[in-house]
Amino acid sequence: MERLKLPLLCLACLLLNAVSAQVSTAEKVSKWYWKERFAAADANENALLEKSELAKFPSEFAYYLESRNFIIADENNDGELSYNEMQNKKNAEIAYRSTMENRQIRTLEGNFPELAKNPLTFLRSNPVMANTLFGNFTWMTKNAAVVSDLIKDKSWIDAATEAGNALNHNLCWMASNPNSAKYLYENRKNSFSTAELLGWRAEHIKFLRQNTVMDNFYTIDGYKDYVKVNKK
């Protein structure tokens, strides 16, 4: 019995280290996402975001594009949002995104029943619909296998340029899915033509190279309950 204790203890330590490494990587992804998302939108590099800059990433900053929400978040009333001001509204932003995206899904699936029944077949025949859904983090999370099949269908994604741009503007999804992001960076070039994505792309590639051991999905800090609900 005594001889079993040491191997079991070593095994327990290895498992604990593996869990710690996983948590550490998830924390790195979250910290990187929130800061780089802000930097990607900060076109004039003044460490403040105005509405015209937020509008370049409508799926990311939908909460602040509502005038009332922008005013509430703008604590010093200077007409721009700092990183800290936005962090203070992170939970409200996430809740708003969840509500609006679920509402959009219900509307689209109500209008197009085939989208709910067979989303892969439907979107292959209707790439314009993918332009909308690829900006919807809720739908993307619920339909991860469908998204994976579509982006790995080279003929489809090459033809669906606008859908590719919508996907790459969904920064939360890109950060959460490092393997899919790497695949897109390696195989897609024409979807990065918009200036606001160039800095994000360069920094994300650098981050992925520095953190080579990464799984398929990481929950961004603040999205834990959101993802749990939407992955059922």
* Residuewise pLDDT in 10s, the chain (232 residues): 555 454 545 544 544 454 444 557 888 999 999 999 999 999 999 999 999 999 999 999 999 999 999 999 999 999 999 999 999 999 999 999 999 999 999 999 999 999 999 999 999 999 999 999 999 999 999 999 999 999 989 899 888 888 988 998 999 999 999 988 988 888 765 555 678 888 999 999 999 999 877 777 888 887 766 655 454 4
Backbone angles phi, psi at 49, to 5 degrees: -115, 130
**Which structure tokens are listed for 179?**
């393997």
C-alpha 131/C-alpha 66 separation (Å) is: 22
Cβ neighbours of 40 (radius 10 Å): 22
Give the residue from 72, 78, 68 showing the smallest Cα distance to 48. Answer: 78
Residue pair 142/136 in contact (Cβ under 8 Å)? The answer is no
Predicted TM-score (pTM) above 0.85: no
C-alpha 10/C-alpha 14 separation (Å) is: 6
